[in-house]
Chain A
């Protein structure tokens, strides 16, 4: 592994690698271990509390000074460490948001003199106390009229006066307490979606209220004989039912009317058309019966029907919202401002321009540590090679080395020297936008079974209408007074409700539960295929390990001790921030006086430096010892002569062993494919109890692909777990692919699901839930079909009275809903 390709920006994993298990002191703010010789701290409740670094100290002091110390009493989780570490980096760039052109994107238009309104997304939140902290910090900014944080969406709405404060200052106030506030573009989708959702919620509430009240009037009548309640009282209750059903039909059922109208216009029948027809016909029939004073009333059925359908819609829309807000965060990755070089290459005069105003062909300058504003081609780097952290796109946490002429992706971070690049794609054509678009598309995908259910319902609906008409005509000749009643009874009692809801609601509930547990499902077929899986393949050992390296073995040349080697290595790695450097520095004595000079970082190879007049190199063997014999080892050399070799090992995830055990327990074969060398892979497999015959080391991607094809040829159904980047083609070949994402979003393009949490056990529970989903859908279908098979003949022979029609239809739908809801309640 080329250890020098590790990120220069500290990450949480790296931070953890500094922690020392021997130390009992943990940072009061972030919970990480405090190094013995560190003197950071803060006074809280009259006691000195140790802190791990200057970043935490600054944050803790800000919190205490603002009188927000309650945060430490109320919080139930430690803050995200990267929020603290990125502190300095973000505040520097915040002033961009004060440029009028940028600001206008984030400020809702208000009248002059009125406070401006901006929506922020609060990032880095780990528990409710964080949100309280953010809200209190925002409220304390002079010039902020009001701030309110939504605890569910993590959004803060801030009203502020532009004469007293600036957008950058407001954002900075949140940064200073260790969280991040990103303004959300004021215009566009999420506003109208929120409105849509609210309308749907009100419609749902109206339908529920009407349903309950109408049933109060109708249900008792089903259980009493006609003599118990006087005819007049019954009429009164019927009229009351009508009054209460009116808002349901006119307001709550609006989505179905609109859908049916759209169906008529596009001449493409969706579920809305039969639903609308059922509501319209039953309502008209009930109305007619009411005025004619005989026949069946279906007011309770109507409100229950509308309520049940709206409930499933509401559930579905909440999942879509969740996915959309992730897309929003992705598009927020692009900086608001870019530096354009107008006269390039003749002059280097630069001017700031909003990213939205960039055109293809513009030449932009990307300073060190800045995010690349748009997809572009590298024209010129100040140094020969440049380093870009493309983690947000590819999930690869190691920086990618680019040279002149190579493509840069908008939204990625320039870690190296300043770059000059020509913009190639902007706006909707950009990489980030297409990722967002694809994610949106996959949300619209439906599993095959669900599509089948839709088709069945579509066939069933017109069939029922035809059946009702035929029954009406036949009964006209038998008993003309019963003709309309029978027709309506057939329609009402057999509403395709249960069939239409059987699959979607179960999938929706299961998807929501699984997403909550940290596994984001990106493709529709995942839940459907998961129960049939026979083999689980872990691609890379990295999927099973934490990324926290520790030094396991040190080999030294004669005349140098282990500690000396560590001290030299530690001095050379002074400014480096990759995991192995962290592991070395952790082991090395903190009292070292060695100082390396003329440090040169050679990307991909290692670091060179001068200590006491001698040149040392630390890195891969080829680089350190001028040796062509390259291997994984991390080597220290003096004047080209070997001094020491460090062997580092990645710790396995805490739940890796139990996950593999439970997978095997549930009858699945676990495989491990890895590109790492055999000894390491064997070691990992042994620790986790994976059979040797299912372990392959030193595999190239094409070998992995062949392995997978072979499995599939043998009729196995394979789930592949990888990082979603280098193994994209291998992942694509599996029946279901799961990518382990750490803030990356491209995996969603190639993988069927993305594991957002670091808990491997989530996969096991998702498998179990998928099996449960399949079972529940089968139950739903069996019930819905059975019910209809019994109810339709009964309605046809006119033995179903309004009571049974209403109870039967309602119950068949309700049973399906409640049965599906069981998937929601299951605790994972």
Chain B
């Protein structure tokens, strides 16, 4: 049972850290668009605009 004295405060701290991280991420707009980043990974395989210009030039 002694382990509870460590684990419970730890879990509370963890919950608060997660809470702050979530607060920051949501405030930063990271949950505003849950579809876009996934699509971009699949589609945007052409690197920077410059390299594309070179490719098409």
Verify B56–A240 contact, CB threshold 8 A: no
Check: A330 CB closer than 8 A to any chain B CB: no
List residues of chain B with CB within 8 A of the CB of A135.
Answer: 40
Q: Which of B1-51 contact A (CB under 8 A)?
A: 1, 4-5, 8-9, 11-12, 15, 18-19, 22-23, 26-27, 29, 31-36, 39-40, 42-46, 49
What is the distance, in angstroms, from A195's C-beta to the closest C-beta of chain B? 10
List residues of chain A with CB within 8 A of the CB of B45.
Answer: 70
With contacts A237-B8, A244-B15 taken as known, whether A67 is within 8 angstroms of B27 at the C-beta atoms is no
Check: A132 CB closer than 8 A to any chain B CB: yes
Q: Render A122-153 as a binary contact track against B, CB cut-off 8 A, 1 for contact.
A: 00000011011001100110000000111111
Verify B1–A152 contact, CB threshold 8 A: no
How far is A521 from B32 in the complex, measured between Cα atoms in Å?
25
**Majority SS at the chain B contact face:** helix
With contacts A74-B42, A213-B15, A240-B11 taken as known, whether A150 is within 8 angstroms of B36 at the C-beta atoms is yes
How far is A291 from B9 in the complex, measured between Cα atoms in Å?
19
With contacts A67-B52, A213-B15 taken as known, whether A151 is within 8 angstroms of B4 at the C-beta atoms is no
List residues of chain A with CB within 8 A of the CB of B22.
Answer: 202, 205-206, 209
List residues of chain B with CB within 8 A of the CB of A67.
Answer: 46, 52-53, 55-56
Check: A247 CB closer than 8 A to any chain B CB: yes
Residue of A nearest to B2 (CB): A233
Check: A210 CB closer than 8 A to any chain B CB: yes
Partner of B12, one of A128, A140, A240: A240
Partner of B23, one of A128, A131, A206: A206
List residues of chain A with CB within 8 A of the CB of B40.
Answer: 132, 135
How far is A129 from B39 in the complex, measured between Cα atoms in Å?
8
What is the distance, in angstroms, from A553's C-beta to the closest C-beta of chain B? 50
**Majority SS at the chain A contact face:** helix
Check: A693 CB closer than 8 A to any chain B CB: no
List residues of chain B with CB within 8 A of the CB of A244.
Answer: 12, 15
Residue of A nearest to B28 (CB): A198
With contacts A70-B46, A132-B39, A198-B32 taken as known, whether A233 is within 8 angstroms of B56 at the C-beta atoms is no
Verify A205–B8 contact, CB threshold 8 A: no
Residue of A nearest to B36 (CB): A151
Verify B29–A213 contact, CB threshold 8 A: no
Check: A243 CB closer than 8 A to any chain B CB: yes
How far is A506 from B47 in the complex, measured between Cα atoms in Å?
46
What is the distance, in angstroms, from A673's C-beta to the closest C-beta of chain B? 43
How far is A244 from B11 in the complex, measured between Cα atoms in Å?
10
Residue of A nearest to B56 (CB): A67
Verify B31–A132 contact, CB threshold 8 A: no
Verify B35–A70 contact, CB threshold 8 A: no
Verify B4–A236 contact, CB threshold 8 A: yes
Residue of B nearest to A141 (CB): B49
How far is A140 from B40 in the complex, measured between Cα atoms in Å?
16
What is the distance, in angstroms, from B28's C-beta to the closest C-beta of chain A? 10
How far is A139 from B45 in the complex, measured between Cα atoms in Å?
14
How far is A230 from B4 in the complex, measured between Cα atoms in Å?
10
List residues of chain A with CB within 8 A of the CB of B5.
Answer: 233, 236
List residues of chain B with CB within 8 A of the CB of A202.
Answer: 22-23, 26-27
With contacts A67-B53, A70-B46 taken as known, whether A240 is within 8 angstroms of B33 at the C-beta atoms is no
Q: Which has the most chain A C-beta neighbours within 10 Å: B1, B5, B15, B34?
A: B15
What is the distance, in angstroms, from A788's C-beta to the closest C-beta of chain B? 32
Residue of B nearest to A195 (CB): B27
Verify A66–B4 contact, CB threshold 8 A: no
Check: A65 CB closer than 8 A to any chain B CB: yes
How far is A244 from B12 in the complex, measured between Cα atoms in Å?
7
With contacts A67-B55, A152-B34 taken as known, whether A198 is within 8 angstroms of B26 at the C-beta atoms is yes
Partner of A209, one of B18, B27, B32, B43: B18
Check: A191 CB closer than 8 A to any chain B CB: no
Verify B56–A66 contact, CB threshold 8 A: yes
Check: A216 CB closer than 8 A to any chain B CB: yes
Q: Render A14-26 as a binary contact track against B, CB cut-off 8 A, 1 for contact.
A: 0000000000000
How far is A559 from B57 in the complex, measured between Cα atoms in Å?
61
How far is A210 from B14 in the complex, measured between Cα atoms in Å?
11
Verify A233–B4 contact, CB threshold 8 A: yes
What is the distance, in angstroms, from A567's C-beta to the closest C-beta of chain B? 45
List residues of chain A with CB within 8 A of the CB of B53.
Answer: 67
Residue of B nearest to A139 (CB): B49
Check: A217 CB closer than 8 A to any chain B CB: yes
Check: A229 CB closer than 8 A to any chain B CB: yes
Residue of A nearest to B23 (CB): A202
Verify B9–A140 contact, CB threshold 8 A: no
Verify A66–B23 contact, CB threshold 8 A: no
Check: A661 CB closer than 8 A to any chain B CB: no
Q: Render A192-214 as a binary contact track against B, CB cut-off 8 A, 1 for contact.
A: 00000010011001100110010
What is the distance, in angstroms, from A155's C-beta to the closest C-beta of chain B? 9
How far is A65 from B32 in the complex, measured between Cα atoms in Å?
32
Partner of A201, one of B8, B18, B26: B26
With contacts A65-B56, A209-B22 taken as known, whether A151 is within 8 angstroms of B39 at the C-beta atoms is yes
Q: Which has the most chain B C-beta neighbours within 10 Å: A66, A140, A148, A202?
A: A202
Verify B8–A240 contact, CB threshold 8 A: yes
Verify A210–B39 contact, CB threshold 8 A: no
List residues of chain A with CB within 8 A of the CB of B4.
Answer: 233, 236-237
What is the distance, in angstroms, from A46's C-beta to the closest C-beta of chain B? 15
Verify A209–B8 contact, CB threshold 8 A: no
Verify B39–A150 contact, CB threshold 8 A: no
Residue of A nearest to B14 (CB): A213
How far is A247 from B23 in the complex, measured between Cα atoms in Å?
12
List residues of chain B with CB within 8 A of the CB of A131.
Answer: 36, 39
List residues of chain B with CB within 8 A of the CB of A151.
Answer: 33, 35-36, 39
List residues of chain A with CB within 8 A of the CB of B15.
Answer: 209-210, 213, 244
What is the distance, in angstroms, from B26's C-beta to the closest C-beta of chain A? 5
List residues of chain B with CB within 8 A of the CB of A66.
Answer: 52, 56
List residues of chain B with CB within 8 A of the CB of A128.
Answer: 35, 39, 43
Verify B39–A243 contact, CB threshold 8 A: no
Verify A150–B33 contact, CB threshold 8 A: yes
Partner of A205, one of B1, B26, B49: B26
Partner of A198, one of B27, B39, B44, B55: B27
Residue of B nearest to A243 (CB): B12
Verify A140–B35 contact, CB threshold 8 A: no
What is the distance, in angstroms, from B45's C-beta to the closest C-beta of chain A? 7
Verify A198–B29 contact, CB threshold 8 A: yes
List residues of chain A with CB within 8 A of the CB of B43.
Answer: 70, 74, 128-129, 132
10 additional A-B pairs beyond A132-B39, A216-B11, A233-B8, beta carbons within 8 Å, are A68-B46, A131-B36, A151-B36, A153-B32, A198-B27, A198-B32, A202-B27, A209-B22, A233-B1, A236-B5
Interface residues of A, Cβ cutoff 8 Å to B: 65-68, 70, 74, 128-129, 131-132, 135-136, 139-140, 148-153, 198, 201-202, 205-206, 209-210, 213, 216-217, 229-230, 233, 236-237, 240, 243-244, 247
The contact sample of 8 A-B pairs, CB cut-off 8 A, is: A70-B45, A132-B43, A202-B27, A205-B23, A209-B15, A213-B11, A233-B5, A237-B8
